[in-house]
Structure 1
Amino acid sequence: MKLIRLAEIDASMIGLVGGKAAGLGEMIRAGERVPDGFCVTVEAYASGQVPQEELARAYERLGGGKVAVRSSATAEDLPHASFAGQQDTYLGVEGQDALAEAVRRCWDSLHTERAVAYRANVGIEDAAMAVVVQRMVDPERAGVLFTANPITGRRTQMVVDAAEGLGTAIVDGTVAPDHYEFDDDAPQTGWLEELRAAGLRLREHFGSPQDVEWALDRDGVLWLLQSRPVTTLFPAPPATADTRLYLEFGHIQGMLRPMTPMGVSLLRTGAGLWFEAAGAKVDRRDPLPRMVAIGGRLYFDLTDFLRSKVMRDRLGTSLEVYGPRVQGAVRRMLDDPRFAPRPGLPFDVRAVVKGVARIAPRAVAGVIAALAWPDAARGRAYRGVRRIRRLTVPPGPDASAAERLRWVAEDSHRPIMTLDMQGIVWPLTAGIVAGTVPAALLDGVASEEELDTVLGGMPYNVTTEMDLALWRLAVSAREHRELFAGTPAPELAARYRDGDLPDIGLAQFLERYGLRAAAEIDVGMPRWAEDPAPLFATIANYLRVGDPEQAPDRRFERAADRAERTLAALARRATRGRPVRGRVAVFLMRRSRELTGLRELGKFAWLIPLRAAREQLLLAGAELFERPDDIMFLDLAEARQAARGADLREVIAARRAAYERELRRPGVPGALLSDGTDVEALAPAVPAGDGVLTGMAGAAGRATGRARVIHDPAGAYIEPGEILVAPTTDPGWTPLFLTTAGLVTETGSPVAHGPTVAREYGIPAVICVRDATREIRTGQLITIDGAAGTVRIEEE
């Protein structure tokens, strides 16, 4: 079938007629007013010959005259990729020869450089082209209707742009259109009301927010020319009876990529076990009811705290850890009538008092003991890690999938989810307290930059030790520089697995650190032991270091030396000006250097059962599914259903596709309303600075260098002395820190892994710089000030 009328098309025919034609056919079937027309199907495109006779007859049946000829690729107008403007449209085409030529040009537009690049960016390998031919509407005005606000994400607000004449002027950006915004339930007048009603119908019919092209002809008749999904919206939160406010908390720990469903499920499971260990009563099915997965990211439902008369005024200060953007967004919501204060507290006071009474004595005793005897405290923490390793005993090789899943769900996290995590928590907490209290004691005596410097070169940090161990591998690889620097990382990983590489000590490194990875808190992520390619890419980066003084171990030593000299200077100054408070501050700063490095140990210990759980899940997945990692797109309860025979292949396929789409998302809202509104987008526009981007202080110091914008650490290339610009960072990124001159991130927190490790290496860091990876380009010369929280793009 080479030609087919639009009225005969439905959504199931997308492979034959493409996305645009399928949408038009659905609109006609739904009773909407759509210009008459037909589709030249992909069968004609596959033959490579325009069906001249059939095309001429269809054109005559349409009445001849002017027509619109529009591309309708099979990869167009999809839920996750609109392809807006990527293929060609020709308006006002008249005559059979001109029509045939326009069809050929639409075919050719499938292979333009921009269309090929777009498909590659959204993960579509191939496509075919159909072509839509419709009667041309002579519009008095035309434009675009969005049934959800494309800027703020609000699902209950429509946006209309309109201009006189053809709507292409709006799409092309050549006119300033009339702009209208109105709520779904706010009746309009005239053609705007017709559009509002049509938008409600189309959104209901297609089941998602729609981007609708329309035209109003000279007789005042409204025609709908296209309806496709709005592809840029962040996924909406679960439907609720009232307006809720959610805070994304993954970015605090450098985690912006989506988590797999199994990753979220295992996180909930582990949390439930810890709450039980703390004496709390939890619902095993949902031990974290305020934690909501949206778009694969973890959000906290802050609504009840925001509405509490007692707690709402304290939220602003408590959210400093989120950075100024999210903090400001929450503060704006305090004035929103939907979050008007109510009496009461957002939790059960008796349960909290009971929990505090159970935990507080142990916590106080543990922190005091750690501050008094730091060496012994570190010893206890390290013994706790060894105990967790010893107690994590998965099923044997003959276990069934059901037995492996039972162990993951019920036993895998029991060794670590004790009240004090086997003795790790109290020394870790003592180090954090010792590192933060001196700022208050030395207010007016010590600068923030000096206090930051004292935290540099911190010993006993397992992540720092890992990065320096990786540097030593690079030193061992120097005699094979050409091999390790000149061979692609995936090829080196394959050769390592085949035993075809010189021994540089990688096996010993992986024995200790192979459980780590980027986004490592997600059990769905491969560990370095499974795929060491990122390590080989980092080794190649390290081999580019030519100046011995820029060697990571030397930089770390210099940071430690600066810290000790600064601490000594502060001790003299503080004890002169404030004898008592000064001595307490100095004591805490010294204890901080002995204990604060342990802050990474808790997470490292958690990775032990997490890795064991991953191994068991993959073994179960290999038994149950075609691809072992299919199991990562189920939660634990669903996986156990699959072990009992449930067919969940369609669920897995849909979730895998959604996950892969979310991996490509460039930004994640830090604060989100239940109607989909990105709260930060409601903030007034900040006047553009003179080449200066403002963020938040992450690690003190200043550096000037060429920017290197990186979105994923796997296989990343960075020259020594360049400044790393990234959406966020977690421990999987930190090997890149050893050769970079500084760090800039779009999100984060001063206590997150990235800034913490940056301080320890003595490199400046600026965090929470909005759109940094878009505002800064690789190769630009930039200057960052980690104390002021600024990034200057230098003129050259």
Structure 2
Amino acid sequence: MSKLSQLETLRRLGLPTAAFCGLSYADFRAGQWPRELRKMRFPVAVRSSYGEEDGQEKAHAGEFETRLFVGQEELEEAVAMVFASYPSPDDQMVIIQEMVDSDYSGVLFAYREGVWKVEFVEGQGEQLVSGQVAPQSLLLPRFVPADRWWASRLRRWRPFGADRRYQSLVGPLLQLSIVTGQLLAEAETGAPLGLDIEFAVARRQLYVLQARPITTPNEAEELLTSANHKEILPPRPSQMMTAVIQSCSAHLFAYYQRLDPSLPTRNFIEVSAGMPWINLSALLDAMVSWGLPSSLVCESVGAEDVYRVKLRPYRSLRKWTVFVRLLKEQLSVVGRTHRWVRAAQKSLLYEISERRLMWRNNPELAFNNWLTNLQLVYVDLVSHMQALTGAMSGPIKVLARMGRLPRVSGKSESTRYLEAFRAMQAGTLSRSDFLKSYGHRGFYESDIGQKRFSEYSEKDWDQLSFGEGLEVVEESIPAQTERPSLFTWIARPFIRMMLTREWLRHHAMRYFAMLREEIQEQTRSRFGESFDFARYRPEDLTRLLEGSIDLAELEGIAYGPQAGWEPDTFLRNRDDRRLPISHLVNGAGVDEEGTALGIYPGQVRGQIWRVQQADLQAVRKPDFPRTILLTESLDPGWVPYFVQVDGVLSHVGGILSHGSIMLRESRIPAITRVPRTLDLQTGDWVEMDGRTGQIRKLDPAEREI
């Protein structure tokens, strides 16, 4: 589809564009100028519209001449120059279009699969095209026509936050999003990847100058975040677990598509720099489509909200069928979870038993069968987690804001795990009894490549033994219980969901441990006791088991480096180019905007014990009179650390993080979302207040306990 036909589509749809007309080479040679030209105001732009310029597979943007600010006397010469830039001008056209005295100019890259990103500059667009001025970048949510009518009455989108420099752009950008949706619907076959749309804004009025098909599929970007992966997975997840998570991507997003079949297919997981990331943009687009606030999903997964779209009830009403399906799912989620846990255990025991003969006769088939089991357990675990979290997050958030959550919380399986570990350390529970109930737990237990307590050697247990008679951390405030009332009766179903989610995780980790035990037994019996199956990707382990490569060749496979969980959130294209969200005008300062979040009330004065990752090498706390643990994120795998300290601080997490639930129910004062601008190192004296989320460094005179 040519530029001229795109402009004609804009005009036919009644969409905003500067006045234009087309001129053929034959008419130009004959001196026959378009009648529309008489009504147009000068200066004008003379743009190319070569037939093959904007093809679906290859674009020639920038290869042909464009003349701007052309006066009436210069028009003939400018048109001749544009035609002269074509390989052959015969049967070709140029566009003559009124110049817009723009306050802002920009380009929107609207991919069908990926984020919509705007790049804009103040003034004319040639500054952007020529690279004279570095553009501002912004992620544009997908709005619908109703948003424009409501925008004048309700401010539901605040992309620039408190920054008033670009407030005049909000309305035109919202309109641009709506226009783009209409153009993409019209160009279903002509622009399969999406559209590159050039626009201008003058006196708060949007003008679409041209639209052309995108021809660079690898430039499509998604907004990725570590989210709770940073909590539950190690700093460098195993190759096996990374591959398994990636393979489940489409199945995980299918949860949202079952609720709303109109959602396009997206990957829930993307791998970048060797790490599995959650596709935040896919979730944000779903929230915007349903009229829900973008902060809802961001708070749920512990990510930054760069869309900044608020609740739009008028849109939610249009999507009422989605919420009917969601309500039906949420009402049954606890029962479904319990049924799945029972059925999964029975099925897994049967599958493992059936595979014993298969491992002897056809090991590669047995491995692929094992892999399918792991994938199914992972998908079902995450899907049930999503449903439980979605059902309870709103009410639990209200309870937390009212200060009632610590009073009505119960005792989850995760908290029983902490209490059992503390009892074992204190000498009131034997190790064997602890292992019967919790031997399948351990550091970063969501990665099947991580050791479980049941696998620990005596040397490992020596490092985990802090000595009998370990002082049990006293409660910073008396235990609080809520008297039976209408309020606690209302809160009970949501507390039950929270307890069910922790119970689900406990049993899912047991299934992970069963599968880990099976694969270790089979691979080590073949390749030696030191063989670590999790170091390799499934396809390579399959090749080893089928005999197409030997052990030396397997060990020689070099996987790319893993970059770790920094930055937390970023844009990534299909060539794995990464751009931190600080480069976005609606992402700059997001990290600094949030305030620390109190998890359990209580004031503690003590010294910081900063730990980057949970492992046996750093498990013993320093000899401080009172210790406050500072971690990057929270997870039940930190239990050996939690039992030693008086308070906990974390940079990442939320009120529904597994570690947060454990700390709250165990009545350990805790704060999460600690700003990174607060520089705290091991040995620093601080005072923390788990009720308000305040953290204060202490002067030497204040350090008495």
For Structure 1 versus Structure 2, the TM-score category normalised by the shorter chain is 0.5 to 0.7
Matched, 1:526 2:441: no
Specify the alignment match of 1:636 in structure 2: 538
Call closer, same or farther: CA 1:638–1:793 in 2, change over 3 Å. same
Aligned twin of 1:562: 479
Asked whether the equivalents of residues 534 and 714 of structure 1 are also in contact (C-alpha less than 8 Å), the reply is no
Q: Contact conserved, 1:439 with 1:451, CA < 8 A, in 2? A: no
Counterpart Cα distance in 1 of 2:322 and 2:548: 42
- Deviation of the 1:278 alpha carbon: 11
Which of 704, 707, 719 matches 2:605?
A: 704
Q: 1:437 aligns with which of 395, 407, 413?
A: 395
Q: Does 1:293 align with 2:218?
A: no
1:188-199 counterparts in 2 under 5 A?
A: none
Partner residue of 2:331 out of 352, 360, 364 = 364
Q: Confirm or deny: 8 A CA contact 1:517 1:526 kept in the other structure.
A: yes
Which amino acid letter does the alignment assign opposite residue 540 of structure 1? F
1:158-191 deviation line (CA, Å, top 9, x unaligned): xxxxxxxxxxxxxxxxxxxxxxxx9999599xxx
1:450 is paired with a residue whose SS is coil
| Aligned partners of 2:304 and 2:590 also within 8 Å | no
- 617 and 673 in structure 1: CA distance in 2 versus 1, 3 angstrom threshold: same
Cα distance 1:617–1:289, how it changes in 2: closer, same or farther (>3 A)? farther
| Structure 1 counterpart of 2:359 | 399
Letter in 1 for 2:307: R
Report the number of matched residues.
Answer: 467
**d(CA) in 1 for partners of 2:233, 2:131:** 39
1:142 alignment counterpart: none
- Please name the residue that 1:452 is paired with: 405
Decide which of 647, 662, 679 is 1:775's aligned counterpart: 679
Q: State whether structure 2 residue 331 is matched by structure 1 residue 331.
A: no
Structure 2 residue 637 is matched with structure 1 residue 732: yes
Secondary structure in 1 matching 2:304 = helix
Give the superposition deviation at 1:292: 0.8
Contact 2:533–2:541 (8 Å) recurs in 1: yes
Identity of aligned residues (%): 15
Checking the alignment, whether the CA contact within 8 Å between 1:699 and 1:765 is kept in structure 2 is yes
| Deviation for aligned residue 1:515 | 1.6
Q: Does 1:670 align with 2:569?
A: yes
Find the aligned partners of 2:683 and 2:652 in 1 and give their Cα distance. 22
* Matching of residue 759 in structure 1 with residue 685 in structure 2: no
Match of 2:513 among 611, 614, 631: 611
Task: Confirm or deny: 8 A CA contact 2:341 2:504 kept in the other structure.
Answer: no
Please name the residue that 1:471 is paired with: 422
Distance in structure 1 (CA, Å) of the matches to 2:413 and 2:463: 21
Match in the other structure for 1:374: none
Tell me whether 1:246 sits opposite 2:224 in the alignment. Answer: yes
TM-score normalised by structure 2 residue count = 0.55
Give SS of 1:245's match.
Answer: strand
Q: Contact 2:246–2:271 at 8 Å: present in 1 too?
A: no
Q: Does 1:462 align with 2:418?
A: no
| Alpha-carbon offset, residue 327 of structure 1 | 2.3
* 1:745–1:629 CA distance, 2 compared to 1 (3 A): farther
Instruction: Give the CA deviation at 1:260.
Output: 1.6
Structure 1 residue 621, shift from structure 2 partner = 3.7
Return the offset for 1:466: 1.6
Task: Give the deviation of 1:289 after TM superposition.
Answer: 2.8
Pairing of 1:12-161 with structure 2 (within 5 A):
none
Give the match for residue 170 of structure 2. Answer: none
**Cα distance between partner residues in 2 of 1:709 and 1:766:** 14
Structure 1: how far apart are the matches of 2:323 and 2:592? 49
The separation in 2 between residues aligned to 1:363 and 1:381, in whole angstroms, is 15
Structure 1 gap segments, 5+ residues each: 1-181, 189-237, 282-286, 335-343, 371-376, 478-503, 546-550, 572-582
Partner of 2:211: none
Kept in 1, the 8 Å contact 2:608–2:627? The answer is: yes
Change (3 A) 1:784 1:391: farther
Residue in structure 2 matched with residue 540 of structure 1 by the alignment: 466
SS at match of 2:466: helix
CA distance in 2: counterparts of 1:768 and 1:758, whole angstroms: 15
Q: Deviations over 1:220-278 (max 9, x none)?
A: xxxxxxxxxxxxxxxxxx99232332222334644352322210233355677788999
Question: Displacement, 1:405?
Answer: 0.5
The 3 A distance-change label for structure 1 pair 595 and 317 is closer
Q: Conserved in 1, the CA contact under 8 Å of 2:284 and 2:297? A: no
Amino acid at match of 2:293: R
Which of 664, 688, 692 pairs up with 1:784? 688
Q: Distance in 2 between matches of 1:618 and 1:364?
A: 40
Q: Provide closer, same or farther for how the CA distance between residues 455 and 635 of structure 1 changes in structure 2, counting only shifts above 3 A.
A: farther
In the TM superposition, what is the alpha-carbon distance from 1:472 to its structure 2 partner?
2.1
Superposition deviation, residue 726 in structure 1: 0.8
Tell me if structure 1 keeps the 8 A contact 2:273–2:560. Answer: no
Partner Cα separation in structure 1 for residue 526 and residue 304 of structure 2: 45
Tell me if the contact between 1:619 and 1:628 (Cα under 8 Å) persists in the aligned partners.
no
Q: Does the 8 Å contact 1:727/1:747 carry over to 2?
A: yes
Shift of residue 453, structure 1, vs aligned partner: 2.0
Q: Kindly provide the amino acid, as one letter, of the partner of residue 692 in structure 2.
A: A
Q: CA RMSD in A?
A: 4.9
> Cα gap change, 1:725/1:650 in structure 2, threshold over 3 Å: closer, same or farther?
farther
Matching of residues 202-281 of structure 1 within 5 Å = 240-251=218-229, 253-255=231-233, 257-268=235-246
Contact 2:270–2:278 (CA under 8 A) maintained in structure 1: yes
1:713 corresponds to which of 614, 626, 636? 614
Do the aligned partners of residues 388 and 735 (structure 1) sit closer, same or farther apart at CA in structure 2, a change above 3 Å counting? farther
Q: Please state whether the residue corresponding to 1:298 is helix, strand or coil.
A: strand
Query: How far did 1:709 drift?
Result: 0.8
8 A contact 2:250–2:267 mirrored in 1: no
**Unaligned ranges ≥5, structure 2:** 1-126, 134-215, 260-264, 310-314, 701-705
CA contact (8 A) 1:622 1:628 kept: yes
Match of 1:314 in 2: 293
SS of 2:548 mapped into structure 1 = coil
Tell whether the 8 Å contact from 1:721 to 1:739 is kept in structure 2 after alignment.
no
Distance 1:432 1:636, change over 3 A: same
Shift in CA distance, 462/597, structure 1 to aligned 2, threshold 3 Å? same
Q: Distance in 1 between matches of 2:243 and 2:396?
A: 39
Residue 722 of structure 1, CA deviation? 0.7
Please say if residues 743 and 764 of structure 1, whose CA atoms lie closer than 8 Å, have aligned partners that are also in contact.
yes
Q: Deviations over 1:580-639 (max 9, x none)?
A: xxx2x3213345555632321212222233223223333454366578545323332332
Check conservation: 2:222, 2:281, Cα contact below 8 A: yes
Superposed displacement of residue 740, structure 1: 1.5
The equivalent of 1:746 in structure 2 is 651
The 1:617/1:278 distance shift into structure 2, 3 A limit, reads: farther
Letter in 1 for 2:370: V
Work out whether 1:511 is the aligned partner of 2:471.
Answer: no
Tell me the secondary structure at the aligned position of residue 292 of structure 1. Answer: strand
Amino acid at match of 2:272: I
Opposite residue 671 of structure 1, the aligned amino acid is F
Partners of 2:396 and 2:445 in 1: how far apart?
32
1:681-718 Cα shifts (integer Å, max 9, x gaps): 766569999xxx95333333332211111123223112
* More deviation, 667-676/728-737: 667-676
- SS for the counterpart of 1:244 is strand
Change (3 A) 1:696 1:601: same
